[in-house]
Amino acid sequence: MRTQSLRDRSALALAGLLLAGAPTASTALADSRPAAAPARGKPYVETRLFFGTARPDGGPAVTDRQFTAFVDREVTPDFPDGLTVQNGRGQWRDAHGTIEKERSYELILLYPESAAKGGDRKIEEIRRAYEKAFAQESVGRVDAHARVDF
């Protein structure tokens, strides 16, 4: 019995030594991953605004010409360094619980983190101006931190 116990312990010790030297799956994966790219650019805030075009009061939808004029008048003066506008299709549940599907615009703004406090105030003014001008219930907003290099 003592011989069997000694053999079992020897076999377990040998298996442990063999396994300790074997690379694990996570080690093998880590060795095959490319090195991370160095951080580039400066810290910025990326703000995305979502503008619907259907009017809850049943009026005509906001046209491309009207939206472009709005951007020229309300956005460009506060963000003259650049912006991006993309056309989209969206949906959301309105205040009455109805799911509205509509053509929309996504406005993307990038500005230095150092200007975030002033940028926030300006963006809220843009949102309120659009809601008022086109009888909208809301303008969606998403903010994210980014590293930006031009």
- The answer, yes or no, to whether residue 22 has pLDDT greater than 70, is no
Confidence at 82, pLDDT banded by 50, 70, 90:
very high
Identify which has the larger pLDDT, 58 or 62.
Answer: 62
As a three-state string, the secondary structure of 30-95 is HHHCCCCCCCCCEEEEEEEEEEECCCCCCCCCCCHHHHHHHHHHHHCCCCCCCCEEEEEEEEEECC
The rounded mean pLDDT for the chain is: 84
pLDDT for residue 28 is more than 90: no
